[in-house]
Amino acid sequence: MFFEQIISSLANIIIYIISNLGYLGVILAMAIESACIPLPSEIIMPFTGFLIAKGVFNFWWATLAGALGCLLGSLLAFFVGFYKGEEFVRFLIRRHGKYFLVFEYELDEAKEWFAKHGELITFTSRLMPVARTFISLPAGISGMNWKTFALYTFIGSLLWSAVLAYLGQLLGNNWESLGVYFRQFDLVIVFIGVLLVIFYVRHKLRKHHRYQQKRLKKHDLN
């Protein structure tokens, strides 16, 4: 199926990068994810943890690499917002976002989060899937102090990377016993995974469609 191929392709890209570049690959992959490009950390760090269990990586060095990658990618997005401003960010999203499943409503949601919770959200959002990727843009647009942003981002990313790496390490340590069950139910697991991806993509597309409809109505009223 199409969505299964997407997830498989993303996983293969991540595995290739990390397997060939080691810690640098972890940094690169996490930087890509934090620069608002959909290369999910939920695959990157657990696979890294799996390699920790196999003795390829050290847990703390791998966690540090994950956090450093998050920081670098987030700073890139932050400075785009900081120096280029909101209109430029919106232009980029409208022009190229659809190719990466990045939509304007996500920027608006991140802006609302930032306005409601303040600068501390740049730390807490690092522990939340999806939101963690986009919070850098409104933080930059708002003119937040970049050193404070970097500190909050690094600490939050360190915790997030450690949790995901540890889960991957647990899987790696128990692969001998768990692998039997995974092989018995692999079709069910793949089917559930595909359904979740379809639901996630459809949810994003529907929200994008509703956002576009609201924009058109607002434009017509004006």
Retrieve residue 16's tokens: 């290739």
Local structure of 84: helix, strand or coil: helix
**Spatial distance between the Cα atoms of 36 and 76, rounded to a whole number of angstroms:** 10
Q: State pLDDT tens for residues 12-24.
A: 777 788 888 889 9
The predicted-structure confidence for 33-55, as pLDDT tens digits, reads as follows: 888 776 777 778 888 888 898 88
- CB hemisphere CA count around 184 (13 angstroms): 5
Residue appearing with tokens 């359904």:
195
**Angle value at C-alpha 75, between 18 and 33, nearest 5 degrees:** 35
With tokens 């434009």, the residue in question is 219
pLDDT tens for each residue of 95-125: 877 766 677 777 777 788 788 888 888 888 8
Q: Which residues contact 182 (CB under 8 A, 6 or more apart)?
A: 189
Band the pLDDT of 70: cuts 50, 70, 90. very high
Q: Are 130 and 103 in contact (CB under 8 A)?
A: no
Q: Higher model confidence: residue 107 or residue 1? A: 107
Q: Tokens at residue 192, please? A: 């559930």
Domain-by-domain residue ranges, the chain?
Answer: 2-175
Amino acid identity at 166: Y
| CA-closest candidate to residue 133, choices 153, 112, 163 | 153
pLDDT of residue 129: 66
Q: What pLDDT does 136 receive?
A: 87
The Cα 81–Cα 135 span in angstroms is 10
| SS3 of the chain: helix, strand, coil, percent, to 5 | 85, 0, 15
Rounded CA-CA distance 146/210 in Å is 34
Q: Which of 47, 170, 8 is nearest to 178 (CA)?
A: 170
Q: How confident is the model at residue 185 (pLDDT cuts 50, 70, 90)?
A: very low
Q: What letter does residue 127 receive in the DSSP assignment?
A: G
Largest CA distance in the chain: 64
